[in-house]
A = this chain, B = another copy of it.
Amino acid sequence: MREPQRAVYDHTEIYKILDEGFVCHAGFTVDSQTYVIPTMYARVGDALYFHGSAVSRMLRNLSNGVSVCITVTLIDGLVLARSVFNHSMNYRSVVALGMATLVSEPTEKLNALHAFTEKILPGRWNDARQPNEKELKATSILKLSLSEVSAKVRVGPVEDDAEDYALRVWAGIVPLRLVADAPIRDERCDVSIPGPAYATNFRR
């Protein structure tokens, strides 16, 4: 069998995928049950920071770190081959393994929150009210060093079996992407406050 997917180990390419996504799936095991939970994340240098509140609720003790698998998947398109068997998806997916540790240092926590906000909405951090000490304490952030990280990518056209190209079946790619619709102003937000560019022109 052909495998039009390829594995990627180049950090530049892996970091590009991580920087485009903003929701990861965090996997961990408690009492021999695996859990997978969606949560927000941001890469800062060679580390990935992710919101740990869901993880914290399920784990009694995070002080020694927690073994995790963080997976980020970007969906790029549907691959419609002439045969059902060769149908596929174009996607880019990163898997990072390791021990995640709880971030306790307030400045590092603040930097992580800054990265969460700014990677999606550049400029929002300075517009919004920034976290106070109490909020910072109430926020649980986990950090994973990106040492054991790889990506899997499928790009490009349909791949059919040689004899199937003669079939009169439409074949091709349906490109998919995440888009934003017009922002919906909060009912209690004064109409004289202009909609910021990061909301009106949101793009991934």
Total number of A residues with any Cβ neighbor in B under 8 Å: 84
Which of these, B32, B69, B183, contacts A67 with CB under 8 Å? B32
Closest to A124 in B: B80
Which residues of B sit under 8 angstroms from A67, Cβ to Cβ? 32-34
**Residues A141-198 near B (CB distance < 8 A):** 157-158, 164-165, 167-190, 193-196
Q: Which B residues lie within 8 Å of A202 (CB)?
A: 78, 174, 176
Residues of the B chain whose Cβ atoms lie less than 8 Å from the Cβ of A174? 180-181, 183-184, 199, 202
Q: Which residue numbers of A lie inside 8 Å of B, CB to CB?
A: 1, 23, 25-29, 32-38, 40, 67-71, 73, 75, 78, 80-85, 87, 89, 91, 93, 95, 97, 113, 117, 120-121, 124-125, 127-132, 135, 138-139, 157-158, 164-165, 167-190, 193-196, 199, 202
